[in-house]
Every structure is written in structure tokens, then in C-alpha cells.
Amino acid sequence: MNFSDLVNSISQLHEELTQQAAKAVNRSLTVRNWLIGYYIKEFEQNGSDRASYGDHILQDLASHLPRQDGFSYRSLKLYRQFYMAYPNIRQTVFAQCTTLGIGQTLSAQLTGTVKVLQEGSEGNISPDLLFFDDRLIQSISFSHFTLLMPIDDPLKRRFYEVECVRGNWSVRELKRQIESLYFERSALSHDKKALSEHVQAGALADSPHLIIRDPYVFDFLGIKSQDVMYESDLEQALLQKLEAFLLELGYGFCFEARQKRILIGDEYFFVDLVFYHRVLKCHVLIELKTGGFSHEALGQLNTYLNYFKAHLMTEGDNPPVGLLLCTEKNHALVQYACAGIENSVFVSKYQVGLPGTEEIREFVEGVIRDE
């Protein structure tokens, strides 16, 4: 073995074991969420005191479980939906429980549950279906399942399941293919194989890096989003230094969050930096793009502003303002955004109360040069 072989061996070892670890996390998370859904549904149907909770079971359950571990009302509702959408994976769930060693430490209640899962409808499921269900749980994450669950047509859902497993699609890729009506286009295509090859050739594959950034994994592992959301060393350096820079300006910035997670519809988004300005009495959202300006980036920031305006403004607050920073190798563009703010008094007030774009641009370009 020479030095080059040593480097290659360590790199290959790291890649393979990282993939194994990511798959193990995904598998455990999927099994946990399905079993939680099973428990909830069983309680709703057979719980001895279920009548006392009526239609508020999920709300009451969420109030008794740690929200930061993924037990919000919305999450619990999703887990129940997962169980109801995928009842046939019960055999695979039981097998995974055994593989993961859960069977050795189950409570008496879970032991009864596993027995039900084991005996269930064993004689009614074909071996081929069991094999595919096992591969499905091994191959895709719970976030993939959240995109598949709303598909009511069993054939359509199975089509995306098969293509997703075959192409090792990322969550983003699965979402893109569903939105682009891949199933419908395939049905209308005379050469389905050629279409499939074309789609798979351009698809974004999943990776351990993408998996660990999954919001459900954050909750499951107790990871803070700011620990893993950075795209590059430059982005991390810029955000850290920008945070300190704005706080030192003395304009009234109060730091609130980095990589602030917000839920819009059924999709999570992350705001790079969130401040509250005590003088202007408004939130200031900062988005950083390590690349050139794009209307998509501005549109994304405006979406965040509208979300904060609709959901996070309190009495006495002014509408939020956004700061978009776009960086290229030797240039930075700074642009303030005021989505939905029609009152010109507010806009002029912001212009006086916030640091100038040229001041911020010079700072950002200085960080770029240093990096």
C-alpha cells in the first residue's frame, strides 16, 4: 500500500460507513413513526378511556410529549396518517424491530403490538410485496413517505415508490417528479423505457449529506438545525461574522435565531439569520446565497417575509424586512426586501434605521477576500 492507496482506503471506508449510518437512522425513524401511528390508531379504536379525550386525543398527546423530539400535533397526525396509508408494511416493521434489537427491550405493551404485527395478515401478503416493502423502508426516508402518502391512487403511488427506489432519488427529486407529472407523462408516452431512462439520468440522487439535513432527522437525533445546514465554509464564516457585525453596529439589532426553521404547508424552510430590531419594532430576516443574484432567491425571501407577517407578528410590531446577500468570487450584492409593505412611511423609516447597503456590501466583500 502506498500513500495514495491509504487515502483512497480511508475515503472509501468513510463513505460506506456514513451511508450505512444514514440508512440506519432512516430505518429507525420510519419504524418509530409507523409504530407511533399504530399506537394512536389502536387507542382511538380500543383505548379504555378514549371517550374522555374525544376529538382532542392528538392535542392532549402532544401536550404530554416533548415537542422538540418530533411530537408536535402536526407530527403525531402525520404518523397516524403514515400507519393508515401503509398498513401492509407491518411485517417489514416487525422484521426491522428484530433487526434493530428493539425486540429485546420492548415493554409489555409493545410486545403485544409486535405479536399483532407478526400474526397480522401474514398469509395475505405475497413474498414479492414483502420483499419490496422491506427494500422500500431500507431505501427511502420518512420525508419521502410524507410526499407519497397524499397520493390516493395505489398504482400511481407504487409507480413513484419503484422509480424512487430504483433511482435512489433525494426528497427534492421525488417532489420535483411528482410536480412535473412524471406518472401521467409515463402513461401517455409510447416509449416508457426511454422516458424512464431520461428521467433517471437527470435525477438528483440521495446522499448521507442530504439525509442528515432532513428536519425529521433533526428532531429524531436532537440535532440543532444550525449545526448542519451550512452549504460551505464560506457561508458559515459569513453568517457568523455577519451576526457579530450587525450586533456591533448599535442600530438596535437583537439576535433571535440562526437557521430558523419554519413550516409552510407541509414543507420546512430555513431562514439563515433572524433578528428583532428593537427600535423599528420588526423582524429582520437575512438570506445568504453563495452565488449570483436570482429572482428565485428574492422570491424565497419574500415568502419568508409574508410568513412572518402572517404568523409571527405581534401587537405593536411593524411588518418584517428582509436583507438578501448574494456573493460571487469578488463581488457582493445587497438588497433589502419589503414584501407586502405598501406604506411608504414604513419603507423610509427602515431606510433610516437600518445600515446602508453599501456598508454591508463592503463588509461582505471583506469577508470574501479574507476567506
C-alpha 87: how far from chain center: 24
pLDDT at 122: 45
pLDDT value of position 104: 46
HEC readout, 141-209: CHHHHHHHCCCCCHHHHHHHHHHHHHHCECHHHHHHHHHCCHHHHHHHCCCHHHHHHHHHHCCCECCHH
Q: With bands split at pLDDT 50, 70 and 90, how would you rate the model's confidence at 161?
A: very high
Q: What is the pLDDT of residue 308?
A: 93
**For residue 323, what are the CA distances in angstroms to 60, 234, 299, 359?**
39, 18, 12, 13
> What confidence tens digit (pLDDT) does each residue in 252-304 have?
889 888 888 888 877 788 898 899 998 889 999 988 887 777 788 888 889 99
d(CA 64, CA 62): 5
Q: Please work out, in degrees rounded to the nearest 5, the angle formed at the alpha carbon of residue 265 by the alpha carbons of 261 and 268.
A: 25
User: DSSP of 252-283, one letter per residue?
Assistant: -EEEEEEEEEEEETTEEEEEEEEEEETTTTEE
The model's confidence at residue 200, banded by pLDDT at 50, 70 and 90, is confident
What pTM was computed for the model? 0.68
Per domain, the residue ranges of the chain are 3-212, 225-370
pLDDT mean over 198-222: 76
Which of 346 and 264 is assigned the larger pLDDT?
264
Q: What is the pLDDT of residue 153?
A: 93
Distance CA 32, CA 353 (A): 49
Q: What is the pLDDT of residue 121?
A: 45
pLDDT of residue 99: 62
Contact 263, 239 (CB under 8 A): no
Report how far residue 144's alpha carbon sits from residue 116's, in angstroms, rounded to the nearest whole number: 26
More confident residue, 144 or 105: 144
Decide the pairing of beta strands 331-337 and 282-289.
unpaired
Q: How far apart are CA 369 and CA 364, in angstroms?
A: 9
**For 225-370, which CATH class?**
alpha beta
Q: How far apart are the first and last CA of the chain?
A: 36
Distance CA 100, CA 155 (A): 31
Q: What is the pLDDT of residue 252?
A: 86
Question: What percentage of residues in the chain have a pLDDT greater than 90?
Answer: 20
In this predicted model, what pLDDT tens digit does every residue of 302-332 receive, in sequence order?
999 999 999 999 999 999 998 888 877 567 8
Which residues are within 8 A (CB) of 198 and not within 5 positions of it... i.e. 6 or more apart?
A: none
The DSSP call for residue 274 is E
